[in-house]
Structure 1
Amino acid sequence: MSVRPNILFIVADDLNAWIGPLGRHPQVQTPNIDRLAARSVVFERAYCPAPYCNASRMSVFTGLRPSTSGIYQNEPFFGQAGRAPTYFEQLRSAGYHLFGAGKVFHGYFDYRQAGAGRTDAPWIDMHAHDSLWDRFVHNTPEPMPPGRPLNRMFDFDRFDTVDPWNHHFDWGVLPDGREADMPDRLSVNAALDFLAAPPAGQPFFCAVGLYKPHLPWYAPKRFFDLYPLDSVVLPVVNEHDLDDVPPMARMWARTPDDHAAVLAAGQWREAVQGYLAAISYCDAEIGRLLDGLDASPAGRDTIIALWGDNGFHLGEKLHWRKFVLWEEATRVPLILSRPAGDAPGRVEAPVSLLDLFPTLCDLAGAPGIPGADGISLRPLMDGEATAPRPVLTTWQEGNHSLRHGSWRYTRYADATEELYDQAADPLEWTNLAASPAHAADLQALRTLLTGLV
């Protein structure tokens, strides 16, 4: 390939499968993701390598599972002797100009400092690695609304008594006057400036890391207005859902016991409204990126990749946040748009985010990383028949969940297990691991998992 396509790479933090093209919430409004999907291949069942920001992202960026790389949470990577290469380095060595903005590598806003001092939340880089990029624009402080917490679930006047889990467990309207200060707005502004004048004679890789819909769910009022509170649809929950899961899964689900706290405060509907509003805010920023790319001289020669780094629970299985191995925490958006003229489509087979960069390299005619755990999804994008492939998600060492066909099989470090048939039980309410009728299915999945880890 004499001239390689550009790549616009958009990652949204904690964006679960509640987007229009996936139909996982009946009210969500994502018109810009919808219009991207209309010209793209939508992977209906994409799964993260780990239900945690850093572990998932480092797996994507290296093509290595956590069990291969040893990155299960925040373990060091770049200081390791003989570390694996990243796909950023591969693309740069292949002649790509690398621009990035926002949360691409892992970092966080310091909500402890923001809550204790009643200030905006400063950004803390954990893995900046400016040397990987030709130019990188870092996050600015996140604006905080006055009177926090807006959900009144905690007492920030006695901030030392607030559990660190709850420093950002909040939702509500951000004053419109602060929208221009939102880090995602500024990251997109920087990317739009880049797209308006891309480097001449060189393909580019433009990465934009959007922080929303990560907690706290603060967004301008117009996004909350999309979801009138009295009509917000809540997830369907079984109050006995944890009765048949192993002790480790039960402990993860209730550490902290967010669901009980949200119910006691009467804030479930408000929280779901907040998450939906944050998704629609994220969608609006994605729309600005799409408009900027379409107006750019590179508009017709650019691959677009949109993905979320991990899923998120809002009460399903009596759990909130991520940090578990069930469907809502592991299922993510993955949408790939080839340059103008390629046909859109949908892929129903389970796939892994590990496959994202091998696919991008394949589409771009760029070298991949030998020995990576991911594979190219290009055959699926082209509609070719391929053999079903198990997809693995890992949370902390020794805990793995396999999605294969309609099955989810999970084995914990203590050898306890879960088994769900999603064709019959899409909400994962009935653990079949002890069912004699499914002993053969269980054994086949055990064998598959053993072959991967």
Structure 2
Amino acid sequence: PDFVLLIADQWRHDWTSFDLPALETPLFRYIAEKGTRFARAVVPSPLCNPSRASLATGLRYTRHGITGAKKTIELSPKLATIYQQLRSAGVWTLDVGKDDLTLLGRWRGKPCAAATTPRCGAKRSRQLGFADYARCYGKDFAPYARKALDPYMDELERMGLLGLYRGESFLCPASSGVQSTGYLCPNATRLPQRKFIDDWIAQRAVDLVKRAPSDKPLFLQVNYAGPHPPFIVTGDMRKGVAERAPWPLAYNSTRLDAESQQLMRANYAAGVEHIDKLNRAVLDAIADRGRWNDTYICVLSDHGEMLGDFWDISPSFEPLGKNSPWQASIAVPLACMGPGVPAGRVVEEPVSTIDLAATAMDLQGASAPAGIDSVSMRGVLHGGSHDGRPAVSTLMEENHTFSTAQKRFGDGRVYKLVCCIGTCPFGRDLRLGAAVPQTGWVRNLYDITSDRLEMTDIRDRHPEVAAELAAALEPPFRGCGLDISGHRDEVHVDRTIDLPEQDTPHRPLAWRVLATQRLFSSTLAPAGSQHFVAATILFSAVLYTLLAGWSMRRRRWLTWMQVQRQDEARELLAPGRVSHGVTESGDGPAAGEVQHLA
């Protein structure tokens, strides 16, 4: 069979027409009703690069080496990918858009035409396992686009639109109420609709499908750049959502003014709805291959978006973006349809998107690399029951340091454990349990069946549930300071892979913090010692001071950079600096061009 993955960037789980009736996502609803919807899908990590690396390799967060989202981090060439396995099995593998697996050549201002690769955007694409591809960077690369850095920017440059694209990226400034940039974008882009980045990605997907050989099974992964910030949309995209205002405000967010919330949420809705429309054009091309009834299709995201939830109780961080352990950040929409998939089924057990890696290989007859963590969902897709493994999500990026595990238990309820080193980041700083205990661990258990906002810690009422979930966490969080001796069978076995020392996972600050705390506990004094207690408290205080100082300096630097970029943007967007010799009759797919989904 053919296998299609349609992946949005930063689309949170509860922003579909199933949870938000005002939001129009008919394609997602169509796939869910013709197939199966996973109501509690969780990503391996709530950050673009590691989440996509887990999907590409089938390895959990701590095993593939991509722990953060720095522009220079790339997937190790020593690691096997599912795309290599599929291609070896005779599958024609296609990759389009923002996959975040490698750089596409030197990105610091090097023009696309001068890239030392066979063609623009081609770096390591064959080695990763792609038979054909049209890869590009995401929207956050626009500020660096003095010259074209990928095929999308190359096309804009040839049309005289690159300066406009770069300049507009600076015009979503911070405000007195919102320090994060990219969220308050009052003006629509002046790019033609068909040159909007997600339209470009969809059209490239259509092109690749049309030129794919008809005698081979096809694997297609479409990686959209939206609705990831900056929340810049076209005028046409904004028209529809404006008529359905006001959008629901963020939870516990009275300190964030309603006007700002409406602006960011309306633009976010426009981005979500537009990608849903573009997916229809991609699937129309898939249907034209004549294998529609032998094609598996899954729609999902790489992680969620906080959208300001819990603003009032988050003084240290603005709860915008991802990078947090809460459901808005780690849970995503997921629906799949295909041969043998029951129509209209809803799976309530938590599942991890990492398992789509093994699923694709299983369904398309490819051998899985030895030692991967991904487990095929073939049985679940075809109507079987879930195996009960907890869905785990982890991040160790700067001061965002946590691991979570959630599972549906015998009482029918879904429990979720949140384990943080130090205070849990990015929201709820002042909640119960926020004070760092002597052990350095912060752990909370939630019944997210009834407490979907994760506000009530029930760990004291269900210690066995907490211990079982703690045993499933990623190292170095495993156990979360709890006694898990009764759950040894729940603990993952750390498999080994052929990864040389220089390619081993980067150890971020939080990992070293935990190692130091463990050193204190093993060398300074036995448990309960006053020396150990004093040392831990002192260590935590010093660490907090250092992180707070770093955060303040970084914010000042970002503010200064924003001023410089706004001045530069005004110059770039000045009359006469941008070519407008482009019409709306570009070569992108029209949103309504679908005949096969009726």
TM-score by length of 2: 0.61
Structure with the larger strand share: 1
Partner of 2:416: 408
- Counterpart AA for 1:446: A
State the distance in 2 between where 1:198 and 1:130 align: 16
In the TM superposition, residue 237 of structure 1 has moved relative to its aligned partner by 1.8
Written as runs of structure 1 = structure 2, the 5 A alignment for 1:133-148 is: 133-139=130-136, 140-141=152-153, 144=165
- Counterpart AA for 2:395: W
**Alignment coverage as a number of residue pairs:** 402
In the TM superposition, residue 108 of structure 1 has moved relative to its aligned partner by 9.3
In the TM superposition, residue 40 of structure 1 has moved relative to its aligned partner by 2.1
Partner of 2:545: none
Residue 418 of structure 1 aligns to a residue whose secondary structure is: strand
Moved more, 286-295 or 51-60: 286-295
State the distance in 2 between where 1:415 and 1:61 align: 31
- Counterpart AA for 1:30: T
Partner of 2:16: 20
Written as runs of structure 1 = structure 2, the 5 A alignment for 1:104-123 is: 104-106=99-101
Cα deviation code 1:394-442 (max 9, x no counterpart): 0117621011121110111332112211122111122334xx3333432
In the TM superposition, residue 193 of structure 1 has moved relative to its aligned partner by 2.2
- Counterpart AA for 1:410: V
Query: Of residues 279, 285, 293 in structure 2, which corresponds to 1:292?
Result: 285
State the distance in 1 between where 2:391 and 2:266 align: 31
State the distance in 2 between where 1:333 and 1:87 align: 22
State the distance in 2 between where 1:315 and 1:78 align: 31
State the distance in 2 between where 1:57 and 1:220 align: 27
- Counterpart AA for 1:136: Y
Are residues 148 and 46 of structure 1, via their aligned partners in 2, closer, same or farther at CA, if it must alter by over 3 Å? Answer: closer
Q: 1:215 aligned to 2:229?
A: yes
State the distance in 2 between where 1:333 and 1:359 align: 17
State whether residues 196 and 297 of structure 1, in contact with CA within 8 Å, keep that contact through their aligned partners in structure 2.
Answer: no
Partner of 2:251: 237
Moved more, 302-311 or 133-142: 133-142
Query: Of residues 271, 274, 282 in structure 1, which corresponds to 2:275?
Result: 282
- Identity level (%): 24
Moved more, 141-150 or 390-399: 141-150
- Counterpart AA for 1:137: A
Q: 1:438 aligned to 2:462?
A: yes
Residue 416 of structure 1 aligns to a residue whose secondary structure is: strand
State whether residues 45 and 332 of structure 1, in contact with CA within 8 Å, keep that contact through their aligned partners in structure 2.
Answer: yes
Residue 407 of structure 1 aligns to a residue whose secondary structure is: strand
Partner of 2:96: 101
Partner of 1:355: 355
- Counterpart AA for 2:207: D
In the TM superposition, residue 151 of structure 1 has moved relative to its aligned partner by 5.7
- Counterpart AA for 1:343: P
Cα deviation code 1:207-237 (max 9, x no counterpart): 2111111111222233323223783232452
State the distance in 2 between where 1:107 and 1:288 align: 27
State the distance in 2 between where 1:107 and 1:264 align: 39
5+ long unaligned stretches in structure 2: 110-119, 137-151, 154-161, 312-318, 409-413, 422-439, 479-490, 495-598
> Higher relative contact order by CA 8 Å / sep ≥ 6: 1 or 2?
1
State the distance in 2 between where 1:191 and 1:148 align: 25
State whether residues 170 and 215 of structure 1, in contact with CA within 8 Å, keep that contact through their aligned partners in structure 2.
Answer: no
5+ long unaligned stretches in structure 1: 115-124, 156-161, 240-258
TM-score by length of 1: 0.79
Supply the RMSD in Å over aligned alpha carbons. Answer: 3.2
State the distance in 2 between where 1:443 and 1:147 align: 49
